[in-house]
């Protein structure tokens, strides 16, 4: 956001992409353009950390914390899928996060991974050391090493697998999502006055809901929008 010298620049706005995606994901690019028109820079982080093949949630979280700046800085985090889980896990332990916008977040990620890969699949992954996956950013097949699993498992063991987030949160999830089960978003949001859950008739990519996402996020983040966004 453009501000006069000496004025409060407001929080940093950061976009966190999903698993096997990247900073050039369509949602990230379109939301970045949407906020650029309002004078806000939505920075799209690279969470392929330390690399996609050696992906670790801890490294993703560290990348987010570093992008948030110094102790006195504040951030608004947009997170899609695995980026949504990353945003939650950073927010539960870092007071610099002041609001979250979660898009089909990968809540209970270890539970969902077991469902998707299966116990036998996990055993084969551990034995071979690698699992073949689709790299959506580079549009090719690649592989991810088994170290991803114990790292995720250790972090997900906190609070029974549910992130302990206390900041205002907008959560948008598609009812036809076949990657991240919407039921976990429903369970997590239930009874939380600081969480607004918006269900849409869409799939995991939320491609048909980008206009609604932008409108909902604008309304939700109105207190953080400067004159350009009013």
The structural domains of the chain, with segments of one domain joined by +, span 12-108+165-229
**CATH T-level fold of 12-108+165-229:** Rossmann fold (3.40.50)
With beta carbons less than 8 A apart as the criterion, state whether 90 and 64 touch: yes
> Does the pLDDT of residue 96 top 60, yes or no?
yes
122 backbone dihedrals φ, ψ, rounded to 5°:
-65, -40
Task: Give the pLDDT band (50/70/90) at residue 9.
Answer: confident
Q: What is the pLDDT of residue 227?
A: 54
> Does the pLDDT of residue 14 top 70, yes or no?
yes
Q: 159 vs 224, which has greater pLDDT? A: 224
Is the pTM higher than 0.85? The answer reads yes
> Does the pLDDT of residue 11 top 60, yes or no?
yes
| Average pLDDT of the residues in 125-139 | 96
One-character DSSP codes across 132-187 = EEEETTTTEEEEEETTHHHHHHHHHTGGGG-----S-EEEEEETT-SSS-HHHHHH
Task: Give the pLDDT band (50/70/90) at residue 8.
Answer: low
Q: What is the pLDDT of residue 228?
A: 45
> Does the pLDDT of residue 2 top 50, yes or no?
no
Q: Identify the helix (H) or strand (E) that includes residue 79.
A: strand 75-80
199 backbone dihedrals φ, ψ, rounded to 5°:
-95, 140
> Does the pLDDT of residue 193 top 50, yes or no?
yes
Q: What is the mean pLDDT of the chain?
A: 94
Spatial CA neighbour of 130 closest among 228, 29, 211, 54: 54
Task: Give the pLDDT band (50/70/90) at residue 226.
Answer: low
> Does the pLDDT of residue 89 top 90, yes or no?
yes
Q: Identify the helix (H) or strand (E) that includes residue 102.
A: strand 97-103
Parallel/antiparallel/unpaired status of strands 140-145 and 130-135: antiparallel
**Distance separating alpha carbons of residues 182 and 175, to the nearest angstrom:** 6
Q: Identify the helix (H) or strand (E) that includes residue 75.
A: strand 75-80
Q: What is the pLDDT of residue 229?
A: 44
Q: What is the pLDDT of residue 158?
A: 82
Lowest-pLDDT choice from 1-10, 93-102, 178-187: 1-10
Spatial CA neighbour of 112 closest among 188, 192, 195: 188
């Amino acid at each position: 956001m453009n501000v006069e010298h000496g004025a409060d620049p407001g929080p940093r706005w950061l976009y966190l992409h999903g698993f096997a995606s990247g900073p050039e994901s369509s949602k990230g690019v379109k939301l970045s353009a949407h906020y650029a028109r309002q004078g806000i820079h939505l920075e799209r982080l690279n969470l392929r950390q330390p690399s996609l093949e050696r992906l670790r949630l801890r490294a993703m979280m560290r990348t987010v914390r570093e992008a948030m700046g110094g102790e006195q800085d504040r951030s608004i985090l947009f997170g899609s899928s695995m980026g949504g889980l990353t945003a939650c896990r950073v927010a539960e332990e870092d007071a610099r996060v002041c609001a979250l916008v979660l898009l089909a977040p990968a809540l209970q990620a270890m539970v969902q991974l077991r469902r998707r890969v299966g116990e036998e699949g996990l055993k084969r992954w551990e034995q071979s050391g690698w699992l073949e996956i689709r790299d959506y950013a580079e549009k090719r097949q690649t592989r991810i090493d088994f170290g991803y699993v114990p790292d995720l498992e250790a972090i997900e063991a906190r609070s029974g697998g549910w992130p302990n987030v206390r900041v205002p949160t907008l959560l948008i999830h598609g009812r036809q999502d076949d990657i991240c089960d919407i039921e976990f978003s429903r369970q997590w949001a239930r009874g939380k006055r600081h969480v607004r859950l918006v269900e849409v008739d869409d799939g995991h990519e939320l491609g048909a809901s980008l206009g609604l996402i932008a409108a909902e996020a604008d309304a939700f983040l109105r207190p953080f929008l400067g004159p350009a966004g009013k």
